[in-house]
Structure 1
Amino acid sequence: MPSRSSIVAIGAAATVLAAVGPSAAAASLPDGRVVERASQTGGNGTPLIQTGSSLRVLDDDTVVATNGVSPLSDAPSGAPPTVVMRRTSTGWTTHQLMPSNPDPTSVYVLQDATPDLRAGLFFQTPSEIFSTPAERAAPGRFLMRTADGGSALVFEGAVDVASDLFPGGLSADGSTAYVAASSDPVSKEALRRTVFSWTSAAGTRPVAREAGDPLATCSTEVQGGFYAGATGLTTNAVSADGRSTFVQAFRTGDDTGAACPSTQQTFLVRDGRTVTRISAPTDPAVPASTGESTFVAATPDAGTAYFRTGAKMSTADGDTTSDVYRWRAAEGATPAELTCVSCGAAAAVTRVVAGPQGDVLYLLAGSQLLAVRDGATTTLDSGVSSVGGVSRNGAHVVYAKGATLWTSGAGGDAPTCVSCRADGTAATGQVQTAVLNKVGPTSDGTVGASSIAGDLLGAISDDGTTVAFVSDENITGDASDGPHHAFRWKRGQGVALIADDATNFGTTVSPSGNTVFFAAYGPVAAGDDDRSQALYAARVGGGFAVAVPPAPCSGEGCRPGGGSGPVAPQAPGSTAPAGVGNATPTPADDRLPAPAVAVLSLSSSQRAAAARTGTLRLRVTVAGGGTVKARATARIGRRTRTVATTSRRTSTRRATVTLSLRLSSSARSTLRRTGRLRVRIVVSLPKARTRTTTVTLTRKRG
């Protein structure tokens, strides 16, 4: 039986609270931020969030992750690649986003969702791994997760119709869904691709298939969808009330009849019946055009829409380069109006980014950045190489000029450098936001954005004052020698370091600007003992209250009522160390960090240098100290052989070190002869999980 003094100590421990805060790697965060771990480990032991995962930050407390996401331990075998991370008063929770009562032999892919995530449109298909051959022969289906938690069948495809089902869109309240299919939902007979609408009251029915409608003889597709919205391809293709949708229609090889356009055109369908072609000249002085058009954005009421085309649809359009047009619906006695909003630009429009309300657009025409608001077009900046994220109110935009990030906006912001150093000079390293990938010098010597991906709305806060990004340059001068660092820029304050050793994806900012999300290999926050890649939140006033055991008593302090009494609780957001969801007490200052090792990825230029010199320089983050070892193997001839080994003693604290692996003469000879060598590297540290990475080296033969 425990003594009375030990009972008192246990009771005191239950009343002592402390905020859990950042580890030494992120010890001096700006704005009073505290690091929290937002994601957990997947059920199969792999990281839940992995390089390539797409993140959508809805607010300070909610993140949706898609693509490359590991299933959770309590998920069915056919787990969908969509999870929701939510913050509670005690930590971050993670759950699958999927229909109710899911089939464990199926995979569910989210197509679109309501802003509150209560309703969603899913595509269900048999799992290639967990289903039987007979189950894999079943057709795909579109399912609705309704706002009340139930499920409804939207459309089931036909087994023998190739390319049968196509993504659709969802109204803001979840009452109406649109999908496209190449079969009849009842008879299963093949059709030209047709748009169908679904409501809980009317079920599923075709959109505008009456005789005489141009859509009756054309292949069509709806322009909505969750993924389209995530990458900025379309905005509000389905109206907020679900009564209207914008569709693309085009002629296929067997289409005949004048009603079907010869090239892709944009149509508006209202109430499932009324069809209006918006990509057609409204000025009688402009001849009818057949040039291809692509829907860009619309306002939530479908009263105004934008599309891009190379056709001349206005007397102001003096060429056949790509331009953006604004269409406004007829209202009362006012006829429909078509206006070219980019015809004054000196070059073709190559990228369009729209705000969530569809009333503000940013266009990249040549190297000019244009803003379109209320039909008026202004030039914001020149020398622009790519356009990235836009704020949720549409007033602010992030873009690249060469190797630097800038911000401006239709709200009147002057162009301001985001990733410049404190002295105003341009940083020269690669930078990356939630939308722009790898802006800066590349392996072929060019400078620019290599790709556009991720959360269009996650690069900048709503008020335009905060931007989150990753850079491989120590812009602030207080970062470690790791390859990637997460930064936040704030108007009037400049750039500040958020995290060392961040991975080069997933850095986003919440609408308020109070939370910067970044990915890193743990442990980053105290109490975080998981060494896999995870998503972290650097939150203003963050941290969670957790129980902390009192200091051991002695002498009079062990008597009831003795000692100094319970320690007063610390409020979250204090200077105490930062933590994670189910946090544990902060380690004492003299306690060593848990042994851990993480291998940092090699850039294309580093791989090229290794292929040229025969020496791999591998950067490894080590915690806990000890001798870190690396062993490289490769297939030489018909056998797998050890081609390099190395080791290095590290300090007892967290450090990033470089391991030099000199390839053997046989490995270098194979690389010269074949032009390619695949090297598998195993990195180990005593009492830590072994890490493995594979590097493919290529070079010219000879």
Structure 2
Amino acid sequence: MTAPVRALCAGVLCALAPFAAATASAAPNLPANRVLEKVSPDDKSGGDAMLLSQTRYGGIGGAFSSAMPGRVVYDSYASFAGSDTGWLSQYLARRTADGWVSLPITAPLDADFSSAADFLANYGAFLCDTCEDVVGWTQIAADPTDTTGSFDAYVTDGHGWTRVSRGSLPGAGAGSPDFQAPQVSADGRSIGWETSDVIEPEAAGSLPGAINAYVRRDGRTRLVNRATDGTLLGEAGASIGGLASSVGGATRSGGGGPNAISQDGRRVFFVTGERAGGRPMHLYVREDDRVTRQLDAEQCVQATCDDAGVLPVFAGASRSGELAYFGSATRLVDGDGSSDPTAPGLYQYNLTTGRLRFIAPDVVKNQNRLVNALSDDGQTLLLTSTQVLANAPNARGDVPVAGADNLYLAKPEASGGTQYTFIGVRAFVSGSTFSANGRFATLVSPSPLTQQDTAGTTQTYRLDVASGAVICVSCGDGQPLASMPELGAADLPTRPSNDGAIAFTTATPLDPRDDNGRDDVYLWQDGRTYLLTSGHGDADQIVVDVSADGTDVYFATSDRLVPGDHDGNRDLYDARVGGGFPTPDPAPEGCVGDACQPPPGPAPVPFAPASGTARPGEQPALPTRVGAVSVRKQSARREKVTLRVSAPTAGVLTVSGRYVTTRRVAVSRAKSMTLTVTLTSSARRALKRSKKLRVTGAVQFRPNTGRTTTARFAVTTKA
């Protein structure tokens, strides 16, 4: 392991270090409808698939998936698949009909980083839910036109980066308290950020150094914090979703709930700061870049309200942006029953009706969030309050305790009231999330929420929103329990799928084959618990994510779980419903060169319990080794790159890389051939601007039988 890698893995950010040597492992216990697929490539230049400071569902760094099945992001300290960062790379894996393809999405990193925190302070990326692109930010120039040396927001499709922000992002990266990473709408068309640079003329009225909020949509950048008449709102600054640590000199905590930019990008929620002596902060929504509304204006009939010192905390919105939630320590409507001046009341604003309503009193922040979890439609919340809001006991027979942190399921009703279901006292740690359809929720609690005695350990529970039923999915059937890992977000259980499946890690042996005393990955599905990893490995395994529809269950392991995994490194896997790839048909007689296009490689073997799979300690049969692919000659002319490639046997060649389109060609025998690939649209624009462009990439060869090999290329093209 090199010195930079040792530095990377020195702290808790390296969730998978130290890496144990991979061993051939027994087949996992998959449900009958799932097949195991290896997501990361076998040729990873000696590196491991990693999770660094993982934040799911829109975060910085780490491995996570989008709402669309078959798309996931992961890290590695090695460069492969055309990446040339030289230090640490992040990859977008996409599932195709022929297999998984990894594309590099990290800008070239020439800086000398001394630690993982140093690297993560300079780069981050995340998937939008319903688009093909990855949105990220970096201080490293990923676009030839970026000469500022400041932080900028970028978008990439895996074939080159395009800068979308103008002006430097505030702070000195992710480690800075003033830093705010870009935000993106679910459709990927709207990207928001803050900067103290004056981009639009209206921002010129800001106080010196104040940050303002901008959104770029469909190629157009606009100032967010302005009134309907176009005048500036927030002379002392503004923040999308109230995420910035200080606005207008008023330091706050909390905020940053989901959907600060609505799914379709039409609505942007922001918090402002005013001049000294004025009202310090207000919450607004900008709609269609035409109309701005204040959400925290009082709507009292009786003379009991005052919005002069609201200090609102944005708690989140529905994906459509129709329903917005925020906290206020000031009474804004009649019937606000808050009694603790340090704990805000929770409010809902309906943008369709313009109605402000009170939801819950004395709400307590958990993990710096005012609302523990919010469903996509905004109709269901998990929140913690110190007041007794429900009288009915929970599944254990416990009742709320006045003054304690009581966890509730809250459902605002059309009549104007709110239905509360008591879940437990001091029940919330972190990781509470709703399924995409709002039917189920994941809970992580140190307090027992069912009749099962957890002996003071932290466990994972599933809440059925419709019935209120709670199930401990990690408790097993009477065996001694180990606490859930609490090292960081990478160790949290996943959100439930729409059908209620949850993946999690635990050292509790919930399967007789799990005998290593380490954290292994399990899947709870349809009332049964399935061991996904071997249970015999020397290292802790990591759960990654479950796609919204439950098709994909991602996890990272050093166990060898499929015959094609023989590189001795940690890989990313997918236990996929209806998974597996078709076995290629024999090439037709007379088929030569580019005319042959069979799918590559043998199909993964379904690993449901069955005869013929490897037993514990046995090593799956490895493919026969063949010669390596090579690039004999390379050249570039304007928008085309030409490679002379030698394939050692029959198989499939894949050309990919930064700035070039991906091309696959099947070969029926050992041969040399000329392949030409074109520049991506973003690369063509960059070439037009800078007149010269360095193009790098890789040629991967997957033989019909044998081990995948890779050869790299680097060439400079001129306009």
Match of 1:641 in 2: none
Match of 2:283 in 1: 266
Match of 1:475 in 2: 510
Q: Distance between the aligned counterparts of 1:489 and 1:300, measured in 2?
A: 27
Contact 2:131 2:188 in 1 (8 A): no
**The one of 223, 238, 243 aligned to 2:266:** 243
Match of 1:528 in 2: 565
Q: Distance between the aligned counterparts of 2:238 and 2:289, measured in 1?
A: 14
**The one of 548, 556, 567 aligned to 1:511:** 548
Contact 2:129 2:188 in 1 (8 A): no
Contact 1:368 1:379 in 2 (8 A): no
**Structure 1: gaps (5+ residues):** 1-21, 226-230, 432-436, 439-449, 550-568, 579-584, 596-702
Alignment of 1:90-129 (within 5 A): 90-97=98-105, 109=123, 113-126=127-140
Inter-CA distance 484–174: structure 2 relative to 1 (3 Å threshold): closer
Inter-CA distance 120–517: structure 2 relative to 1 (3 Å threshold): closer
Contact 1:52 1:68 in 2 (8 A): no
Q: Distance between the aligned counterparts of 1:34 and 1:161, measured in 2?
A: 44
Inter-CA distance 135–148: structure 2 relative to 1 (3 Å threshold): closer
Mapped pair 1:177 → 2:202 = no
Q: Distance between the aligned counterparts of 2:105 and 2:561, measured in 1?
A: 27
Contact 2:36 2:606 in 1 (8 A): no
Partner SS for 2:26: helix
Inter-CA distance 79–324: structure 2 relative to 1 (3 Å threshold): farther
Partner SS for 1:297: strand
Contact 1:363 1:370 in 2 (8 A): yes
**The one of 489, 496, 499 aligned to 2:534:** 499
Q: Distance between the aligned counterparts of 2:533 and 2:320, measured in 1?
A: 40
Match of 2:461 in 1: 406
Q: TM-score, normalised by structure 2?
A: 0.60
Partner SS for 2:320: coil
Partner SS for 1:167: coil
In the TM superposition, residue 349 of structure 1 has moved relative to its aligned partner by 8.7
**The one of 603, 606, 631 aligned to 1:573:** 606
Contact 1:111 1:121 in 2 (8 A): yes
Match of 1:45 in 2: 46
Q: Distance between the aligned counterparts of 1:38 and 1:459, measured in 2?
A: 20
Contact 1:175 1:242 in 2 (8 A): yes
Alignment of 1:576-595 (within 5 A): none
Partner SS for 2:347: strand
Partner SS for 1:478: coil
Deviations 1:551-592 (A, max 9, x none): xxxxxxxxxxxxxxxxxx9996376999xxxxxx99999985
Mapped pair 1:327 → 2:348 = yes
Q: Equivalent pairs: percent with the same residue?
A: 18
Mapped pair 1:460 → 2:478 = no
Q: Distance between the aligned counterparts of 1:56 and 1:42, measured in 2?
A: 21
Contact 1:486 1:507 in 2 (8 A): no
In the TM superposition, residue 396 of structure 1 has moved relative to its aligned partner by 1.0
Partner SS for 1:356: coil
Deviations 1:495-554 (A, max 9, x none): 6565323634334333343443222114232221122222122234433445799xxxxx
Match of 1:86 in 2: 94
In the TM superposition, residue 69 of structure 1 has moved relative to its aligned partner by 6.2
Alignment of 1:36-75 (within 5 A): 36-40=37-41, 45-50=46-51, 52-53=53-54, 54-58=62-66, 61-65=69-73, 70-75=78-83
Deviations 1:87-108 (A, max 9, x none): 233332211236xxx6776998
Match of 1:300 in 2: 319
Alignment of 1:281-292 (within 5 A): 281-285=298-302, 286-289=304-307, 290-292=309-311
Partner SS for 1:94: strand
Partner SS for 1:31: coil
Inter-CA distance 401–522: structure 2 relative to 1 (3 Å threshold): closer
Q: Distance between the aligned counterparts of 2:551 and 2:258, measured in 1?
A: 26
Inter-CA distance 524–43: structure 2 relative to 1 (3 Å threshold): closer
Match of 2:423 in 1: 381
* Aligned-partner residue type, residue 188 of structure 2: G
Deviations 1:325-357 (A, max 9, x none): 2332465xx553232235699999965112233
Inter-CA distance 504–529: structure 2 relative to 1 (3 Å threshold): closer
Match of 2:717 in 1: none
* Aligned-partner residue type, residue 542 of structure 1: G
Contact 2:524 2:530 in 1 (8 A): yes
* Aligned-partner residue type, residue 196 of structure 2: S
Match of 2:440 in 1: 396
Contact 1:177 1:197 in 2 (8 A): yes
* Aligned-partner residue type, residue 136 of structure 2: F
* Aligned-partner residue type, residue 270 of structure 2: V
Inter-CA distance 494–322: structure 2 relative to 1 (3 Å threshold): same
Q: Distance between the aligned counterparts of 2:216 and 2:441, measured in 1?
A: 36
Inter-CA distance 44–395: structure 2 relative to 1 (3 Å threshold): same
In the TM superposition, residue 208 of structure 1 has moved relative to its aligned partner by 0.5
**The one of 397, 405, 419 aligned to 2:474:** 419
* Aligned-partner residue type, residue 420 of structure 1: C
Inter-CA distance 411–83: structure 2 relative to 1 (3 Å threshold): farther
**The one of 524, 531, 536 aligned to 1:489:** 524
Mapped pair 1:430 → 2:505 = no
Contact 2:225 2:232 in 1 (8 A): no
Partner SS for 2:181: strand
Deviations 1:187-210 (A, max 9, x none): 998552111232346444464178
Inter-CA distance 537–168: structure 2 relative to 1 (3 Å threshold): closer
Deviations 1:198-243 (A, max 9, x none): 2346444464178996724131111299xxxxx9952211123323
Inter-CA distance 337–213: structure 2 relative to 1 (3 Å threshold): farther
* Aligned-partner residue type, residue 45 of structure 1: G
Please provide the CA RMSD for this pair: 4.8
Inter-CA distance 82–266: structure 2 relative to 1 (3 Å threshold): farther
In the TM superposition, residue 30 of structure 1 has moved relative to its aligned partner by 3.4
Match of 1:606 in 2: none
Inter-CA distance 574–353: structure 2 relative to 1 (3 Å threshold): closer
Match of 1:218 in 2: 236
Partner SS for 1:139: coil
Inter-CA distance 185–359: structure 2 relative to 1 (3 Å threshold): same
Match of 2:153 in 1: 142
Partner SS for 2:292: strand
In the TM superposition, residue 306 of structure 1 has moved relative to its aligned partner by 0.7
Runs of 4+ that moved beyond 6 A:
134-137, 146-150, 158-165, 186-189, 209-212, 344-350, 574-578, 585-591
Q: Distance between the aligned counterparts of 1:326 and 1:159, measured in 2?
A: 30
